[in-house]
A and B are shown apart, each in its own frame.
Chain A
Amino acid sequence: MNGGNKRYTGNRFWLTACTLVFGLGLLVAMAPDFTGGKKPRELTPDDNPVIKKDSAASIKAFASVYKVLMSPRCMNCHPSGDVPLQGDDSHLHIMQPTRGKDGKGISAMKCANCHQPANTPGLHTPPGNPNWHLPPADMKMVFQGKTPRQLARQLVDPEQNGHKDLRKLLEHVNDTLVIAGWHPGEGRTTPPLPYAEFKKAWITWIENGAYAPKK
């Protein structure tokens, strides 16, 4: 695959660069720097899981990904503000907990004060996960209000996605907090696709180049 000594500094560059040099095994830094001058990280051969470039297949798969990510189970913890959303109508989380620096809430309102390691039995009780949190304050990964294009570009941008390269992004689909969306507890709907289908779409999207739709 795309081994070799390459660097990338932003998704636009990465996509451009990959298109240019795919198969050459060498990547020359030639795109503008989107990181505001921060020194980009050296990449390793394992970073890039793209196995073929197929923008049509990638974008098609992303349509399914987008549908899931914008469903309440995913979007509610990726709000545009600092208060998570709640419920199938994505209302502002009652009692208005805030993100905090690490995404785990603040003082008396930390996520884990209510969200236990597992779901609490009963209707509308807090769903659980050992690592329940929002994205941290310096990497908010907002879904709410994003177009498919904006969301796709944000997802692959390491400066916005928690410094995840594509390999890590691919693996993120196995994160227990992501999977928790399909076990939401009583009184909540699950995302619009079964998890297996979502996972497949996610992988397809990335393995085909992680393209962003036009809009």
Chain B
Amino acid sequence: MLMATVSCKINGKDQTLEVDPQMPLLWAIRDVARLKGTKYGCGVAQCGACVLHLNGEAVRSCVTRVTRAEGQKVVTIEGLSENNDHPLQVAWQEIDVPQCGYCHSGQIMSAAVLLRENPNPTDQDIDRAMGGNICRCGTYPRIRKAIHRAAEMLRSGGKRNGTDL
């Protein structure tokens, strides 16, 4: 089998990954680029634990081949902000959203795309954007609250989405 060389920008840094071209981006990010914040949850695009940004879109890295990242920009939870201070991260901390915390990398990465496209989301907008992310601990009421809170911060001049999209 031929190994592929995938060159992409991960969290702002140019990287070259030597990988099996069939490998999903999730495992390349976790086991090759060794960024463990992006999680494996289901492997079939059902749960959203593996959501990261590929050119700014909230792709499910478990079903996305690593080769799709060639020449593209990848942002993971580790790269969403430099100091854990993206408005969503701040809101998540203020409201103490996570319980076990496992799904929240994906939750936050999904929410970041929502806020970029819709800085003033309604409850229905949140339902429509976040339906792909499962939280077994049931933190949904707080996720909703935190997204509203982050939107409020953005509107009142808080830090814009810090990602290099």
Contacts and interface: CB of A to CB of B under 8 A. Distances in A.
A touches B in complex, CB < 8 A:
yes
Contact of B117 (A94, A106, A117): A106
A126 B131 contact: no
A205 B130 CA distance: 43
Contact of B57 (A112, A122, A123, A124): A112
B129 A114 contact: no
Interface stretch (A66-74, A95-103, A149-157): A95-103
Main secondary structure of the interface of B (DSSP, over half): mixed
B46 A113 contact: no
Interface residues of A, number: 21
A112 B57 CA distance: 9
Contacts, number: 72
B63 A95 contact: no
A109 interface: yes
Contacts of B111: 108
Nearest to B107: A108
Contacts of B58: 107-110, 113
Main secondary structure of the interface of A (DSSP, over half): loop
A108 B44 contact: no
A109 B131 CA distance: 8
B45 A109 contact: no
Interface string A48-82: 00000000000000000000000000000000000
A107 B45 contact: no
A122 B43 CA distance: 9
29 contacts: A95-B131, A95-B132, A96-B128, A106-B128, A107-B116, A107-B118, A107-B125, A108-B58, A108-B109, A108-B110, A109-B58, A112-B59, A113-B58, A113-B59, A113-B60, A113-B132, A114-B132, A116-B63, A116-B65, A116-B68, A117-B68, A120-B45, A122-B43, A123-B44, A124-B44, A125-B44, A125-B63, A126-B44, A126-B45
